[in-house]
A and B are shown apart, each in its own frame.
Chain A
Amino acid sequence: MLLLIQYTLIFASVLILVALGGCFSEHSGVINIGLEGIMVMGALGGALMMKFLPAGTSAPVIILLVVLASILLGVIYSLLLAVAAINFKADQTLVGTAMNLLGTAAATVFVKAMNTAESVDNVSSTIQYIEPKKAFLVNIGSFEFNWFMLLAFVALVLAYITLYKTRFGLRLMACGEHPQAADSVGINVYKMRYAGVLISGMLGGLGGIVYITAGVSEWKFENGVAGFGFLALAVMIFGQWKPTRIALAALLFGLFRALANVYTGFDFLTALQLPSNVYNMLPYIISLIVLAFTSQHSRAPKAEGVPYDKGMR
């Protein structure tokens, strides 16, 4: 049971971070389908940092550097979306899809090249980080506390304050609702949208490293992040683009995702003798059902997905 809570919390942390990322981007008016690719890139940055840090590094330094590496890579990668969608008025769904494919392909090519360079026989796309990963964990009894859980909580509080209590947040949301009106009172819509996308890159990248360190100690980059970026988008829609609701939705989805990892620990679940694939499917099925019931009256930012053109009124 404790294990279930632990996994639920860590997967919910991933979903909270990434969904908040999507939330910032969409409130500024840019749909970010590319979160999945951003997660892969962030995960790659963090994993590389863990791999190359010298063995004796102290835990707080490891945490800080890994987080920074993930954020950095996520932000840089999200620039691809920002430039295409804001400056070149590209189709945001198309660019986001390309970023998802590109993220996995680029990470695979890079990691494989690195592994082969180390030893010619190693053609896998896996990075191991058993030792440095321990820096993130604190054992409280049999419960494995992960610093990322705290980080996700802090991000949640900060996101709430930023969006609703600061001038920046309110302006950001204005750009997603009615950019022309925002422009008319002197807000630079292009800058605000850049801010929104880059913040989503930051949170998405962070979510990526949390995801690949949740439960495993090595990651095969060929698999990308297995649709987690899209689950986060479903969480965001279910959470109606509001941070507090997103957190609750993330907990629910995290629970179902965690079940896939730990269902063998429950006697009544093993007694059902369902194939493990059923549990793998569960988060996706639940999200489809949930979306079917919540999308009808969805309150998406009005101008999302529409490129802003100063000349148009």
Chain B
Amino acid sequence: MKKEKRSLLRNKGVQSLLAALLCILIGLLIGYVILLIINPAGAGEAIKTIVENFLYYPSPSAQLRYLGNTLVKTAPLLLCSLSVLFAYKVGLFNIGAAGQYVVGAGASLYCALGLGLPWYVCLIAAIAAGALLGAISGVLKAYRNVNEVISCIMLNWISLYAINTLLSNVKEGASPYTIQLSTGNPGAVLPSLGLNELFNGNRYVTIAIPLSVIVAVVIWVLLEKTKFGYELKATGYNKFAAKYCGMKEKRNLILTMVIAGALAGMGAGLYYLTGFEQWSTTQSSVPAMGFNGIAAAFLGGLNPIGAVFSSYFIQHITSGGAYVDKTMYSAQISDLISSLIIYLCGFVLFFKTTLDRRLDRRAEREAARAKAAQKGGEA
């Protein structure tokens, strides 16, 4: 019985799950303490609201509808987190998911509203735009040795200003927002295939949600079960060794960033083509989606399937944050909690090695004791 338990704790998947749960727990706890400091009166209520999210509504039909809204926003988050984790597996830190998401949004909305194209073309445009931006970082890294973190950040800001300029062409008269998709070009709205009926007629629920999960599975297969994925990971571990083995390490680097960029761009397409949100052409900060993707990727233990659940969780508390009592707290409390969770994810490696070491020590002690007992028996 005991032996079985030990082997379970040694399992990498179980360790990742434990670590993730620990991060969430500590993150929520610190968030609660911060709420207490700001205003002790409503802290308990507020943290409950954040964790409950759509359950905040009393009627089941409203709950279902708002669960739909959370899922609509989970799909892009999942793709952003896939983008981050895919690059990280190959040794690249894709903080540019945010910028790739921005150009994806820009391309899809411009194709939909400016050029009046159908949804599938808009989605492909989003993917291509993200891939292109990723390619820039990849080429700069491979051929000019530019740190991808720095180049990605610069590209994030460049994309934001460029897309704001581009989308000013398709905005509603006086407001800074782009034209509603349902009135501007209904043909560009992603098809729902009856999925909206499942969520009490929430018209923003589309094929985006199942599609994002399918992509997660594809990425898992690509990374774990194909030669191509193996090559990419080998390049990530040691690019000189990969080169020595005859792999094209530069091509692999660029290709990784192209795929990562495509994923983030697709995420934006899957979100903005539901018509859930209009782009504000005066926004002065890069959308948080890409950065939350980092949180989801690490919380999910850098596993595509884990990312499905962690993305949902991050979006769940982010949406929940919108319901807190605004007379006491601000919605950003969820951002605070999710950034705390990213910070805590930094300690996961330490947690795992400590756990392993402790298990080793216990096993050693037990072995020694067994030996001693055996000796005692002989004498």
Distance A164 CA – B222 CA, assembled complex (angstroms): 50
Q: Tell whether A88 pairs with B347 under 8 Å between CB atoms, given A33-B149, A101-B291, A281-B158.
A: yes
User: Interface with B: A4-12, A133-141, A207-215, A218-226, which one?
Assistant: A218-226
Interface-side segment among A59-67, A146-154, A183-191, A288-296:
A288-296
Shortest Cβ distance from A231 into B: residue: B154
Interface flag for B349 (CB, 8 Å): yes
Contact A277 B161 (CB under 8 A): yes
Q: Which applies to chain A's interface (DSSP): helix, strand, loop or mixed?
A: helix
B329 at the binding interface (Cβ < 8 Å)? yes
B140 interface contact, C-beta 8 A: yes
| A106 in contact (CB, < 8 A) | yes
Do residues A91 and B349 form an inter-chain contact, with CB atoms below 8 A? Answer: yes
* Residues B336 and A106 in contact, CB atoms below 8 Å apart: yes
Residues on the B chain within 8 Å of A94, using CB? 93, 294, 298, 342, 345-346
Residues 83 to 102 of chain B near chain A (Cβ within 8 Å) = 93, 95
Q: Which chain A residue lies CB-closest to B347?
A: A88
Instruction: Please pick, from B140, B156, B285, B338, the residue contacting A222 in the complex, using a CB distance under 8 A.
Output: B285
Cβ contact within 8 Å between B350 and A90: yes
CB distance from A108 to the nearest CB of B (A): 5
B349 touches which one: A90, A234, A284 (CB < 8 A)? A90
What residues of chain B lie closer than 8 Å to A128, measured between beta carbons?
none
Q: Interface digits, B130-154 against A, CB 8 Å rule (1 contact, 0 not)?
A: 0000000000100011110111011
Interface string of B296-329 (1 = CB under 8 A from A): 0010000000000000000000000000001111
CA distance A224 to B153 in the complex (A): 14
**B343 in complex: contacting residue of A98, A292, A293, CB < 8 Å:** A98
Instruction: Check if B145 sits within 8 Å of A295, measured CB to CB.
Output: yes
Other-chain contact of A281, B145, B147, B157, B329 (Cβ < 8 Å): B157
**Alpha-carbon distance A296/B143, docked complex (angstroms):** 8
B61: Cβ under 8 A from any A Cβ: no
B-chain residues with CB within 8 Å of residue A224 when the two chains form the complex: 285
Q: Is the CB of A105 within 8 A of B336?
A: yes
**Interface readout for A222-246 with B: 1 if CB under 8 Å, 0 if not?**
1110110010011001000000000
A226 to chain B, nearest CB (A): 7
Considering the complex, give the chain A residue whose CB is closest to the CB of B148.
Answer: A93
The segment from A50-58, A112-120, A194-202 that touches chain B is A112-120
Query: Which residues of chain A are near B95, meaning CB under 8 Å?
Result: 97
A174 to B200, CA, bound (A): 64
Q: Which residues of B contact A237 (CB under 8 A)?
A: 147, 150
The answer to whether B154 and A102 have CB atoms under 8 Å apart is: no
Among A91, A109, A234, A275, which residue has its beta carbon within 8 angstroms of that of B336? A109
The answer to the question of B164 belonging to the interface, with a C-beta cut-off of 8 Å to chain A, is: yes
Interface centre among B149, B332, B350 (most CB of A within 10 A): B332
Given the interface pairs A90-B350, A123-B330, the reply to whether A109 lies near B144 with Cβ below 8 Å is no
A280 close to B (CB within 8 Å): yes
Contact check, B165 vs A288: say whether CB atoms are below 8 A apart.
no
Q: Which residue of A lies closest to B332 (CB)?
A: A108
| A95 contacts B162, C-beta separation under 8 Å | no
With A94-B346, A223-B284, A281-B161 as contacts: A291 and B146 at CB distance below 8 Å = yes
Pick the contact of A109 from B155, B294, B333 — CB < 8 Å?
Answer: B333
Q: Which residues of A contact B158 (CB under 8 A)?
A: 281, 284-285, 288
Main secondary structure of the interface of B (DSSP, over half): helix
Instruction: State the CA gap A120–B146 with chains docked (Å).
Output: 48
B340 at the binding interface (Cβ < 8 Å): yes
Also in contact, A101 and B285, with CB within 8 A (given A108-B330, A109-B34, A227-B153): no
- A285 cross-chain contacts in B, Cβ below 8 A: 154, 158
Across the interface, do A280 and B285 meet the contact criterion of CB distance under 8 Å?
Answer: no
- Given A112-B332, A291-B150, check contact A80 B343 (CB 8 Å): yes
* A25 nearest CB across to chain B (Å): 15
Identify which of residues 318-375 in chain B touch chain A, using a CB-to-CB cut-off of 8 Å. 326-330, 332-333, 335-336, 338-340, 342-343, 345-347, 349-350
Interface check A161, CB cutoff 8 A: no
Does B339 contact A98, Cβ atoms closer than 8 Å?
Answer: yes
Tell me how far the C-beta of A39 lies from the nearest C-beta in chain B, rounded to whole angstroms: 14
Cβ-defined contact, A292 with B140, below 8 A: yes
* Min CB gap A145→B, angstroms: 29
Report yes or no: A99 in contact with B343, Cβ–Cβ below 8 A: yes
Complex Cα–Cα for A109 and B321 (A): 12
Q: List 14 interface pairs A-B (beta carbons < 8 Å), by A numbering.
A: A84-B346, A89-B350, A90-B350, A94-B298, A98-B346, A108-B335, A109-B333, A113-B328, A222-B332, A234-B154, A278-B161, A291-B147, A296-B144, A298-B145
Q: Give 19 new A-B contacts, CB below 8 A, not counting A109-B336, A285-B158.
A: A80-B343, A90-B346, A90-B349, A93-B93, A93-B149, A94-B342, A97-B291, A101-B335, A102-B339, A109-B329, A113-B38, A223-B284, A227-B156, A237-B147, A281-B157, A288-B158, A291-B150, A293-B144, A295-B145
Across chains A and B, which 4 residue pairs bring their CB atoms closest together, nearest first?
A90-B346, A101-B339, A98-B343, A98-B342
